[in-house]
Structure 1
Amino acid sequence: MECFRIQVIFAQKNYKSYQISEEEIQEISDDLFSMLEWGEAELFLFGELIYFLPETLVFEFSKELIKRTKFYRKIPENKTQVTLVIRDCTNYFIEKSQVEQAEILLNSYEKLIESPIVDVYSRKEYLFVEGNYQFLIGNIEKGNQIFENLAIMYEKLGYDNAASYMREKRHK
């Protein structure tokens, strides 16, 4: 499986000599789906495979991952990785204009970052994804407000380039 992980990374970096075959994708998908509990390696692998798998598999794996979050909450590093993978899956469905899947995952993503401890990074990342989702469903005003709020936050923290980027994300 280590060789396959390297192939995925090279394929993502657009190294032309590394291709991932349908058979390899099917094999790794079967392996991931058959595991009752994913560890760090499986979380990483799924996160790397998102853009290579069919949409239906990405959604099914995401739902399974969310169902198993009680197990992952025991280990903070795994919870962080689960949160990042669900963030990426949500973005994937937003990019694909799949409203229903994006909404389900966005709601799950929000629940994953609920915590009595303030986690500014996760909250900021969630707002970015939520802003893109609002644009997807046609709620331009709400999406623009989210990105404006993010821009103001970045300005107050002294990150002018990030603030400019957030303002560029707004729709006219």
Structure 2
Amino acid sequence: MLRKAEHVLALLHSASARVVTAESCTGGLVAAALTHFPGSSDMTEGGLVTYSNTMKKNLLGVPEATLAEHGAVSEPTVLAMAHGALLAAPLARLSVSISGIAGPGGGSATKPVGLVWFAVADRVGGIARAESRIFSGSREQVRLQAADHALTMVADCLSALV
């Protein structure tokens, strides 16, 4: 994952862009990977760990109605998280958000353990996209796979810019 984070930082540098993270189930793993490298403060604006719905609502502006209707692990929620992160970090061009069920409990028939939703938003391009994945393995493995996929999404978005 650190190699991928280093690649993302290089792409951010090439695009003269900064990124902010809004993380739930990954608990700051993406921000930690990005800030592992010296000089990363030039490309990384920061990260928000919004594990609870209250934090998603209060720090990122996720509407209570979105959380009530769709739940924390949903496309509408991660899109709202990504937009909220951009509002919280006005110098960031890109945001990435993650919300999922890392397990071992907490899953359901419609939202199984391992389900993670992601979103990336681009302030300049005005685009946002969301996608979900279902990962397998232990809680730690799900969290690491989710953080890795979030970095992939950011890299894909940046590759279109540089």
Superposition TM-score tier, normalisation by shorter sequence: under 0.3
Richer in helix (by share): 1
**Larger RCO (alpha carbons 8 Å, 6+ apart):** 2
TM-score normalized by the length of structure 2: 0.26
TM-score normalized by the length of structure 1: 0.25
Richer in strand (by share): 2
Instruction: Indicate the structure (1 or 2) with the bigger Cα radius of gyration.
Output: 1
